[in-house]
Amino acid sequence: MAAVMLATMCAVVYGTADFFGGLATRRSRVLAVVMLTQLTGLVFVLPLLPLLPGTPSPAALGWGMAAGLCGGVGVVLFYRALASGVMSVVAPTTATTSAALPVLAGLAMGERPEAAALCGVALALAAVVLVSREPGAGRSRAAPAPVVQALVSGLGFGAFFVLLKQVPAEAGLWPLFGARLASAVAAGALALASGRTVRPGKGALPAIVTAGILDMLANVLYLMAVQRGLLTVVAVLASLYPASTLLLARYVLGERLSALQAAGVGLALGAVALIASA
């Protein structure tokens, strides 16, 4: 039950972080938002290390850095796919792949959730597809390149979830320090190589800082959840984050939810209930 609660909170916080990240990208270049959110998360996790003490072993840092690189690649490819592809295809492809990979990995590692939990996982996967749908573009045909980028992006996000499951139990938050250090360095190297500015747009810095802090907080919740529960269940619950982003957009920005997205939110709630009852 603790793992389910932590994973559900993780999804809410991830979704809120994405909401603020979306606000920031309206005023800044995407690479600037990615770079500065990574640095903010790195600064945020430093004072947390003594609060949740652990051993900074090579295994802890190594798994974390590998996870951070996979997640960083996922972010870059996801934004590139969105820029050149059809959102109604790209977003569900990425979200479904990122949720399905941990399920397959967990089953391959011998995890066997109860029947009710498996039904909840199936509902959650359907919910991820529905809440990620962009209204009004369902009949558009996507070019092959953005679809491939979306698939690889989803694999990167899913690998982030899987790799953090491998960290030693006594590692504390050091894997997240390694993850954010690796992704921040990679984002900085990409910015230097491309020659693009990482200066935030006017008025965007508060949203960027908020997104960076919340994203790291969600990572902390995920790590705590996956150390207490099954990867098959925890990663799928964490992947429900688009639902909270949608609800914030609906009630803060006044954006409308399509019928499919509303159904997805309902399925997400049902999935959490089923998994919690298992």
Q: Report, as an integer, the average pLDDT of 133-148.
A: 64
pLDDT over 90 (residue 35): no
pLDDT band at 26 (very low <50, low <70, confident <90, very high): confident
Q: Give the residue with greater pLDDT, 161 vs 51.
A: 161
pLDDT of residue 27: 82
Q: Provide the token pair at 255.
A: 């954006």
pLDDT of residue 84: 64
pLDDT of residue 85: 58
pLDDT band at 219 (very low <50, low <70, confident <90, very high): very high
Q: Provide the token pair at 99.
A: 């949720």
pLDDT of residue 89: 66
Report the C-alpha gap between 8 and 54 in whole angstroms. Answer: 24
Task: Residue 7: name the closest of 235, 232, 271 by CA.
Answer: 235
pLDDT band at 267 (very low <50, low <70, confident <90, very high): confident
Domain that includes residue 9, residue range: 2-277
Residue type, 161: F
Report the C-alpha gap between 112 and 219 in whole angstroms. Answer: 24
Place of tokens 């059809």: 86
Task: Residue 129: name the closest of 104, 101, 93 by CA.
Answer: 93
pLDDT band at 245 (very low <50, low <70, confident <90, very high): confident
Tell me the per-residue pLDDT of 64-119, one tens digit each, with 9 for 90 and over.
Answer: 999 999 998 888 787 777 666 555 566 777 888 888 899 889 999 999 888 888 88
Place of tokens 């050091």: 174
Report the C-alpha gap between 95 and 236 in whole angstroms. Answer: 10
pTM metric for this prediction: 0.87
pLDDT over 80 (residue 138): no
Q: Give the residue with greater pLDDT, 88 vs 188.
A: 188
pLDDT over 60 (residue 140): no
Q: Report, as an integer, the average pLDDT of 35-44.
A: 92
With contact defined as beta carbons under 8 Å apart, do 171 and 55 qualify?
A: yes
Report the C-alpha gap between 151 and 145 in whole angstroms. Answer: 10
pLDDT of residue 221: 96
Q: What is the DSSP letter of 197?
A: -
With contact defined as beta carbons under 8 Å apart, do 262 and 118 qualify?
A: no
Place of tokens 């996922």: 74
Dihedral through CA 183, CA 186, CA 192, CA 194, nearest 10?
-100
pLDDT band at 231 (very low <50, low <70, confident <90, very high): very high
Strand stretches in the chain, DSSP E: none
With contact defined as beta carbons under 8 Å apart, do 97 and 154 qualify?
A: yes
How many domains would you assign to the chain? 1
Residue type, 227: Q
pLDDT over 60 (residue 226): yes
pLDDT over 90 (residue 264): no
